[in-house]
Structure 1
Amino acid sequence: MIESVADVRKGDILIINTGYHRYSWDRPDIPNPNAQGGVENKEFGFLVRHPGPSLSFYKWAIEKELKIIGVDCGLAEHPMNTLIRTMHPQEFAKAEAKLKAEHGKTWDEMFPPEEYYRLLHIELPKRHILFAESIVGQIDELLGKRAWFMMLPLPFMEVESSWMRPVAYRPPEGMDEEEFFQVMDEAEVLDFTLPFSVQTPQWANYEPLVVKYVKRVGGQAFGKGRNTSICTASFHLATHMDGEIHFWSRGRTIGQVPLDYWMGPGAIADISHLVADLDVYTPEMIESVVEVREGDILLIKTGFHKYGWNSPDSDEFRYMVRHPGPSPDFSDWAIEKKIKWLGIDAVSQDHPMNTIQRIWHPKTFEEANAKLKAKFGKDWDEMFPLDKYYQDTHLNLFPKGIVHAENLGKDITHTPSGRYYLAVYLPKGMETASMWGRFIAIKEAD
């Protein structure tokens, strides 16, 4: 059935369009005069009544060495092969009657429980074949087409699943599809996302990550068990994007920002050799190491990622309280350059002494103030008047649409200054002021 409508190759990511994305909660109502209220129960359709794969499908997926199987409904399995079967016995009776009529077998004959368990819980995981569920959005635009998929979940270290922003890239007009895939395959992809763990420190007095497992594979009948966790945390830990509404009440939430805002050409400025503890960096420093163009995404590498919690040189106080920050003219320069968004390999885009850290750490402030006087001949409040520079890059730039990412790390360690294609894949949080994300750079092969 699948290969009759799509060219599926070994090692592919496969996205299956069942049509049941039409029942997603954010889609228009589906009129049905025979349904209660005259409209379909969309949530029921999306989660309980959608189609699912045969047992042979999973065997075929193993033979094809698929990376990821994505679906446009609530589950990548048939709902009647999950606990939904026992939660909705009337729906199971209908499904089994349909199966008997079409295949002449009962449900357990068609899906022997022990074999199903072995395939789903042993064979597929051993081969690292993953499921991506509830893919909706612009999925209909890909019908029958091949695409380059970016499926980059948040790097949760202790949990079984993760949110993500799945994205498909198609070749630009006039470019051969195979040539496009070859370019993408040969490009270097750099990941700047820190591990997301219960050990990851949150900013200052924000909520840390807490993980609680509420289900285990061994807890239910064959094939129906799941490892499932509940996570609570502030968005201000690990690598995350601060959105406009984080500091500007009329600003957009993360989910209100269009996808193309989060990706595009940009520059990485490695100024790590120019800055030290509590230093102030300037636009001149940045432009001395990289060409910054109008409309760029700009990531600043101070070198302070090496003091993060997961580094051999970890020094949490240094990372949180002593990192460098921007000069007074930085925000105006960013506005003039029409910077799309910023990123930093430290806990804050602002200088820590232009945040509440100044009050919490008076001795460190004295040190920063003395250093500023020696370097610029001005004390802190003269160079950074509080009513203008408190949380400078938050309060002065967010109303201009210039937001920023904090806690960049991982591959940024060995990434030199230069121009890159930069992107962040953020879950589409419609009410969130900030959001964890997967931050990458793509460098075309020479």
Structure 2
Amino acid sequence: MNSPTATRLVRHLACATVLAAVLSACGSGAGADGDAQDADPASVTGTLRVLTPSFGTSTAGKNALQQVIDTFHQTYPKVKVEADNTTFDTLGQKISTSLAAGQGYDVYVTGIGWIPPFASKGLYTDLSTFGFTKSTLSKDFNSALYDAVQYDGKIYGVPLIAGPKIVAYRKSMFEAAGLDPDKPPTNWAELRADAKKLVERDASGKLQRAGFDFWAGPGGLPQDYTAFAGSVGGAQYSAAGKPTFNDAKSVKAIGFMSDLINKDKVTDYGLVSSDSTALVLKGKAAMGFVGGYLDCSEKTGVGQDVCDDLGFFNITETRPAMYTGGQVASVGARSKLKAAAYTFVKVLSSQESETAMAKLNFAVPARNGATAEDPAGAFALKNLQHAAFQGGSTGYLETRNNFGPVIDEIVLGKKKAQEALDELAATEK
């Protein structure tokens, strides 16, 4: 989780070779896990290094992070917290650089799909060390996120937020086009037909309003692909971690997306607004992807009138699918403050902290019983059982670097879908 725009994709996982080498050196044989808890947390000293992309640099983000630190200090008052507030674009680079320098983090917040690549190299601590079991997971967190925090039968992460990219439509535009505003598309054929009725171009062919918006610039289509592939029962990887993104279902999904852009011309390739706001929210698209949190206020958000005009639906063909990213928190395997690190993770995964992070990341809390006051969040929480995730293999992050450009080549007609996807799959074999 994971973020919904193309800028939140991990495009540059630099130092991959160095990362693999240093991680191999910090596997299970490099040292024992240490004590599961401190006898007297109030007397523990040291510096807890935390790597997180969850809070950003806004005032609201800084305040939310400080609240987590203040709460942690109620238990560990003498432990200094050194928070590296990074972005997903630089997260992989930060991890590899820190390990190469022999200074791994105590707490890692990473994305959906990141657990297998790093857990397989020994970066994380098995959370059963602290009594966090499958029973704990199922009791406290949304079931849609269970697989995302496990590898090889062990739990290496605590779910924080789910970051869906859901589909919204403008009811008023449906009605003006002669469509029923209470009946959004229920399959691909209906989506295509409605998008063709809703698109508006001038006499020269210049797009005035998209019929369907992918909310993705160049390189940013993998999330949308995940939803379309999921809607025909496809997934990027098998349960055994083998690539399946080159199977018939995936080829069909990318082909449909390409047809919407190139044949039906319901939008233009790579179209995004100057401020990265989803075009549906700006009235520049009648249907399209938006984030899982929507600020309806007049001062800081899109306004109540826009929120009232929105309806939501899942991409559906043989089944509903909703792309979902997200974020999970882990304890570093080489941490010398593991009990304190786990306490910090528990604070991060509290209802209060998850709610704050969700608003900052267009997401929803991962905890059971979470609610959302905004319409997008309410729809996302209600539909998390339809989540379609990226990832599922130990080589996922390297493949993810190339996935966006490969889909672009297909959409732009530079390569045939089967050929391009087969080539990408071969890099993981």
The one of the two structures with greater contact order (alpha-carbon pairs below 8 A, sep at least 6) is 2
Structure number, greater radius of gyration: 1
* Higher helix proportion (structure 1 or 2): 2
* Pairwise TM-score range, normalised by the shorter structure: under 0.3
